[in-house]
Amino acid sequence: MINVNDFKTGVTISYEGNLYQVIEFQHVKPGKGAAFVRTKLKNLRTGAVIEITFNSGIKVPTAHIEKAKMQFLYTDGDNYIFMNMNDYNQVELSAKQLGDAKEYLKENLEVDINFYEGELLGVNLPEKIEMLVTSTEPAVKGNTTSGAQKDATLETGMVIKVPLFIEEGEKIIISSKDGKYVSRA
């Protein structure tokens, strides 16, 4: 159990049958009345973000989330196969379970997979991922607009905007948070 006054960003709790992660919290002590804690919680099963206000001093059960370091091996139709780096067991996830994360998966990429009492919750990608540019148009000579960008297709099939100087066959680093170009590898 954890007191709502002790909330920190990233704490996971079990509340009304759901698993939540604390995204934001604010202790409020009004001039009149009792203090309370205003929170933004992310549902770890659905991804929905809700706002809940707790009275100060209330205790809620904590949820212990286990993280397993896994390596992406291959896709089999609509399923994605991962291998546990410690005991070499394989886990199969569907495209629906992965959501947008499947766009970033390439062979041998190491990710953290979250479990709660054996139930799979989701995948945590590395913040920055190195990708190979498989196709892009050549830069147009004379286009010197500051910040000019063009489309590039990556090895996973994902299409992103890159600066004009990036060429086919180059390795680049992209952010897994927003899918944007960060730098050359």
Q: CATH no. for residue 23?
A: 2.30.30.30
Per residue in 30-62, pLDDT (tens digit) is: 988 899 999 999 988 887 899 999 998 899 999
**Domain ends where: 38, 60, 82?**
60
| Residue 142: predicted pLDDT | 65
**Mean per-residue pLDDT, 13-37:** 91
Residues 43 and 11 in one domain: yes
Q: Could you tell me the pLDDT band of residue 103, with boundaries at 50, 70 and 90?
A: confident
The verdict on 70 and 53 lying in the same domain is no
- Rounded to the nearest integer, the mean pLDDT of the chain is 88
Instruction: Tell whether 143 and 112 lie within a shared domain.
Output: no
Beta strands in the chain (DSSP E): 2-3, 12-15, 18-28, 36-43, 49-55, 59-60, 66-76, 79-84, 90-94, 110-116, 119-124, 128-136, 149-154, 159-163, 171-175, 181-184
CATH number, position 148: 2.40.50.140
Percent of the chain surpassing pLDDT 70: 96
User: Is 0.95 topped by the overall pTM?
Assistant: no
pLDDT tens-digit readout, 115-155: 888 888 888 889 999 999 999 888 766 666 667 788 899 99
User: Percentage helix, strand, coil, to 5, in the chain?
Assistant: 5, 55, 40
Instruction: Indicate whether 70 pLDDT > 80.
Output: yes
Look at residues 172, 177, 175 and name the one whose alpha carbon lies nearest to residue 153. 172
The whole-number average pLDDT for the span 158-164 is 89
Backbone dihedral angles phi then psi of residue 5, each to the nearest 5 degrees: -70, -20
137 and 119 in a common domain? no
Do 85 and 114 have their domain in common?
A: yes
70 shares its domain with 40: no
Q: What domain range is 165 assigned to?
A: 128-184
Q: What is the Rg, in whole angstroms, of the alpha carbon atoms belonging to the chain?
A: 21
For the chain, the domain total comes to 3
Residues ≥6 apart with Cβ < 8 Å to 109: 71, 72, 125, 126, 129
